[in-house]
Amino acid sequence: MSRVLLLLDHRENRRLLAEALVPHFEVITPVSDEALADNFDVGIVDGVALSRLGRQIEARKQKEYPVFLPFLFIASRRDVGMATNHLWKSIDDLIFSPIEKVELLARVRGVYERRRLSLEYHQFVLRASTNAIVLLNRVGHVVQWSPSEERIFGWSEAETLGKHPPCISEEEIFNKLLETVWLGEEFASGETVCPRKDGSIVHFTVAAAPLRDANGTITYAVCVISDVTESKRTLELQKRRLNELETLDHVTAVLRQARTVDEALPILLNETLAMLGFPAGCIWLHQPAENHLRVAAATGWFADLRETPIKPGEGIAGTVFASGRAHISPEFVSDAFLCPSDIERVPAGWGGACIPIHALETLVGVFFVSCPLPRQVQPDEIKLLESLTRMAGVTLQRMELYESTQRRARQLEALHEIDRAISGSMGLRAILDTLCRQAATELRMDAAGVLLLDPTDMTLGYAAGYGFRTSAYQHLRVRLGQGQAGLAALERKTFHCPDLRSAVPAFLRKELLENEGFLAYAVVPLIAKGNIKGVLEVFHRAPFSPDREWWGFLEKLALQGAIGIENAQLFESLERSNMELSLAYDATIEGWSRALDLRDKETEGHTLRVMEMTVRLARAAGMTDQELVHVRHGALLHDIGKMGVPDAILLKPDKLTDEEWVVMRQHPMLAYEMLSPIAYLRPALDIPYCHHEKWDGTGYPRGLKGEQIPLAARLFAVVDVWDALRSDRPYRLGWPEEKVREYIRASAGTHFDPKAVELFLKLISEMT
């Protein structure tokens, strides 16, 4: 129920008003003026009370501002002047007596309703405002403290009324605010901070303006305090995010310059440390083949640590890799996960963090950052590092895939080059030289060599090598079953020695350790069609731990090399057999030629002479080496058909009769019949079959003319006549050289090919 305060000196009037109001309001009829301090909704005064309490009423109304606190003045007609002086300053409505009860109730209800609406509106504004609203009096004491103020700073209205506002703790700002407002001007501060009631920090701004009454007098300073803590936090978050994006963009741009993982890792490490201000760090990458982590890049004090690989779950790096979660260490030397063997090597007073490097769904390594105390790695730095490592992981995986593709392409090219060596030269040394060079290059080894098996004494001997500094490797022999190479050949197994100094069984070829400085070694047997051909060895002058891809390519090289050795050896064997067969054919042909000379002693030596001269002439005519072989065979067998001519005709000392010439002229046809069934001698038939044909077509046995006669036969005809005319016969003596030349020159165009004559005479002149 609303409360009405009756401040009336006239007792009867007070009684009458109380009787009229009591059924509808809670009426307060105080016995002293201290009732103004009570809580009430409407005040009713008369002239005497107003004269006495006017200033107190005015102060009370100002205290309640901006909430409407109505005072009604019960006045007689003679009090109009007083009412005019106090109207709107101390009182809000004027009631002239006498007044009817109904009008009184209506007037009281009206001003009460105005107060209620004013109060509800004011409370709504204060509750709805996100900013804090504070009213200060002239001395800077809090007159009103909004609910938002309590929400922002933690102090209640009861704790602040009548005191300086605890939120404006900087005296200089507070004094400037009061001075500015009471001069009638508005005040605005920049961002400032103060502690909340709970000790946490709040960031805010203050805007203040003078509050005037109806007469324009400044009564209060209205302060609007805006909490910018969240805005500042959002802005800082945006700045950090922008910085993160700039960092990611910068690192990405720098990484694009790298062509390989080995180039990218130091760039990633150094750029990340520089952007975040960390003086030391390192990157460990996981080696899937061995399932261990190895240092791939390091700077600062990390560069002095061991490079011994660790297993997942060991030490800080292994623990982070196994868990996939970042680990912050206030100080590494006191970290429970630190390997005991590293305690003395990690400097005291350095902390940091270890972050896993993700590539999509796969962990590929860990990233260390370190800084000296008292600095600690912050959560936002961890988030940035996680973003960097995710980006780096994808980049590294992309580079690794690219390098793997390039590596496989080079390996295919290496195998193709070995194929070309096998199918091209077919020379064993060329094949093995190519094999050794490709093995050393593509397997990233310092040297490679091939030892071939000698089945006569069951030893492995040098066949080819690449990358050796001395000749020691060329002079070593390994017995089958001894040492790694001998065991690899005997047992047909691959052997790998990460460190030859402690190899089991012991590495027997000490010269390679002393003179070449090799440390790591691998050997693979060369097997073709189930037969051991030898071994392929690769050497490295530093410890080396190959992965599965490396071993796979070594085995491919060994298989390709074994095929090459098999093919080369088969080719050499076939070539040797062909050579022996060719020699046998030549010996047979020469035997036939000697048999003919022995039968006709008068022409002894003629066959070899004309063979040699014909070969010279054919070479001068531009015939190939293969064609010269057939020319040689044809010249040796040019009279093979005479084996079918009876001795009575062949050896007759006198001139032959016409009938005998018919028999004699059959020997070219007999030569054809004898030689054509022999495939090896068929290309040599041109001379035995056609050497009696003439350029003008008058020859025999077929009467060929001009270039219808094979070139070899045309060349041989000149040489044959030249040698026959120079030789003695039973029926005549040999002609002088000049006469023979003149005869041949005169027979050009009839008996002989003119070009063949010209070439022959030129050759004879050069020989004399």
172 vs 180: CA distance, rounded Å = 12
User: Sign of dihedral through CA atoms 417, 419, 420, 424?
Assistant: positive
Q: Which residues are within 8 A (CB) of 468 and not within 5 positions of it... i.e. 6 or more apart?
A: 447, 449, 474, 516
* pLDDT of 159 over the 80 cut: yes
Check residue 515 and give its pLDDT. Answer: 81
Check residue 123 and give its pLDDT. Answer: 55
Check residue 707 and give its pLDDT. Answer: 93
Say if CB 208 and CB 165 are below 8 A apart: no
Share the mean pLDDT of the chain: 81
- pLDDT range class, residue 739, cuts 50, 70, 90: very high
Say if CB 64 and CB 34 are below 8 A apart: no
- Write b or e for each residue in 26-38: b if 16 or more Cβ atoms lie within 10 A of its Cβ, otherwise e: ebbeeeeeebbee
Check residue 693 and give its pLDDT. Answer: 94
Residue 565: phi and psi, rounded to 5, are -65, -45
Q: Give the tens place of pLDDT for each residue, 334-385.
A: 998 988 878 878 889 999 999 998 877 788 889 999 999 998 888 878 887 8
- Quote the tokens at residue 94: 């004027």
Q: Give the tens place of pLDDT for each residue, 577-617.
A: 667 677 777 777 777 777 676 666 555 578 888 889 999 99
**What is the residue extent of each domain of the chain?**
3-126, 129-227, 239-405, 424-568, 600-767
* pLDDT of 124 over the 60 cut: no
Among residues 331, 366, 361, which one has the least CA distance to residue 346?
A: 331
* pLDDT of 18 over the 90 cut: no
Residue 264: phi and psi, rounded to 5, are -75, -35
Helices (H) and strands (E) in the chain, counts: 24, 22
> Which residue type, as a one-letter code, is found at position 530?
G
Check residue 615 and give its pLDDT. Answer: 93
Q: List strand residue ranges (DSSP E) for 520-618, in order.
A: 520-528, 531-540
Q: Give the tens place of pLDDT for each residue, 303-343.
A: 877 667 888 988 898 999 999 899 999 999 899 898 887 88
Q: Report the half-sphere exposure of 252 (CA within 13 A, side-chain side).
A: 12
> Which residue type, as a one-letter code, is found at position 527?
I
- pLDDT range class, residue 621, cuts 50, 70, 90: very high
Q: Give the tens place of pLDDT for each residue, 438-453.
A: 888 888 899 999 999 8
Share of the chain above pLDDT 70, in %: 84
CA angle at residue 583 from 582 to 587, to 5 degrees?
120
Helix, strand, or coil (residue 632) = helix
How many residues in total does the chain contain?
A: 768
Check residue 694 and give its pLDDT. Answer: 94
Cβ-in-10-Å burial (0-12, 13-18, 19+) of 590 comes to: middle
- Quote the tokens at residue 727: 């030789």
CA angle at residue 733 from 731 to 739, to 5 degrees?
125
Residue 107: its H or E element = helix 101-128
- Residue found by looking up tokens 């062509």 in the block: 259
Say if CB 516 and CB 470 are below 8 A apart: yes
Fold observed for domain 600-767: Hypothetical protein af1432 (1.10.3210)
* pLDDT of 620 over the 90 cut: yes
- Residue found by looking up tokens 């100080």 in the block: 331
- Residue found by looking up tokens 């390098």 in the block: 403
- Write b or e for each residue in 685-704: b if 16 or more Cβ atoms lie within 10 A of its Cβ, otherwise e: bbbbbbbbbbbeeebbbeeb
Residue 4: phi and psi, rounded to 5, are -115, 125
* pLDDT of 426 over the 90 cut: no
- Quote the tokens at residue 707: 């270039």
Domains 239-405 and 600-767 share a fold: no
551 vs 554: CA distance, rounded Å = 5
- Quote the tokens at residue 456: 């006569």
8 vs 15: CA distance, rounded Å = 9
Q: What is the pTM of this model?
A: 0.43
Cβ-in-10-Å burial (0-12, 13-18, 19+) of 452 comes to: buried
Which is more confidently placed, 631 or 503? 631
Average pLDDT of the residues in 163-170: 84
Q: Report the half-sphere exposure of 479 (CA within 13 A, side-chain side).
A: 3
* pLDDT of 416 over the 60 cut: yes
Strands 350-359 and 327-329: what pairing? Answer: antiparallel
Within 10 A of 293 (CB to CB), how many other CB atoms are there? 24
Name beta bridge partners: 355: 367
The CATH number of 3-126 is: 3.40.50.2300
The CATH number of 424-568 is: 3.30.450.40
Give whole-number Cα distances, 297 to 52, 264, 310, in Å: 91, 10, 15
Check residue 66 and give its pLDDT. Answer: 62
Q: Give the tens place of pLDDT for each residue, 462-476.
A: 989 999 988 888 888
Among residues 516, 514, 521, which one has the least CA distance to residue 536?
A: 521
Most confident stretch, 52-66, 214-228, 666-680: 666-680
218 vs 140: CA distance, rounded Å = 13
- Write b or e for each residue in 476-507: b if 16 or more Cβ atoms lie within 10 A of its Cβ, otherwise e: bebebeebbbbbbbbeeebbbbeebeebeeeb
434 vs 421: CA distance, rounded Å = 7
Among residues 360, 189, 350, 384, which one has the least CA distance to residue 272?
A: 384
User: Sign of dihedral through CA atoms 393, 399, 402, 406?
Assistant: negative
95 vs 106: CA distance, rounded Å = 12
Dihedral angle at the C-alpha atoms of 629, 631, 637, 642, nearest 10 degrees? Answer: 170
750 vs 741: CA distance, rounded Å = 15
260 vs 444: CA distance, rounded Å = 15
Check residue 83 and give its pLDDT. Answer: 54
Check residue 349 and give its pLDDT. Answer: 92
Q: In what order do the strands lie in the sheet with 292-299?
A: 292-299, 280-287, 362-372, 350-359, 327-329
Say if CB 280 and CB 419 are below 8 A apart: no
CA angle at residue 255 from 251 to 260, to 5 degrees?
155
135 vs 162: CA distance, rounded Å = 11
Which is more confidently placed, 477 or 56? 477
- What CATH architecture does domain 129-227 belong to? 2-Layer Sandwich (3.30)
Say if CB 329 and CB 353 are below 8 A apart: yes
Share of the chain above pLDDT 90, in %: 17
- What CATH architecture does domain 239-405 belong to? 2-Layer Sandwich (3.30)
What's the distance, CA 551 to chain centroid? 23
Average pLDDT of the residues in 184-188: 89
Check residue 372 and give its pLDDT. Answer: 92
* pLDDT of 710 over the 90 cut: yes
Name beta bridge partners: 87: 91
* pLDDT of 69 over the 80 cut: no
- pLDDT range class, residue 624, cuts 50, 70, 90: very high
Say if CB 205 and CB 225 are below 8 A apart: yes
* pLDDT of 703 over the 90 cut: yes
Check residue 61 and give its pLDDT. Answer: 67
Check residue 599 and give its pLDDT. Answer: 63
Check residue 592 and give its pLDDT. Answer: 73
399 vs 312: CA distance, rounded Å = 23
Check residue 742 and give its pLDDT. Answer: 93
Name beta bridge partners: 328: 353
Say if CB 295 and CB 307 are below 8 A apart: yes
154 vs 676: CA distance, rounded Å = 124
Say if CB 722 and CB 760 are below 8 A apart: yes
Average pLDDT of the residues in 567-580: 70
* pLDDT of 752 over the 90 cut: yes
Q: Give the tens place of pLDDT for each residue, 384-414.
A: 788 777 777 777 777 666 666 666 767 667 6
- pLDDT range class, residue 65, cuts 50, 70, 90: low
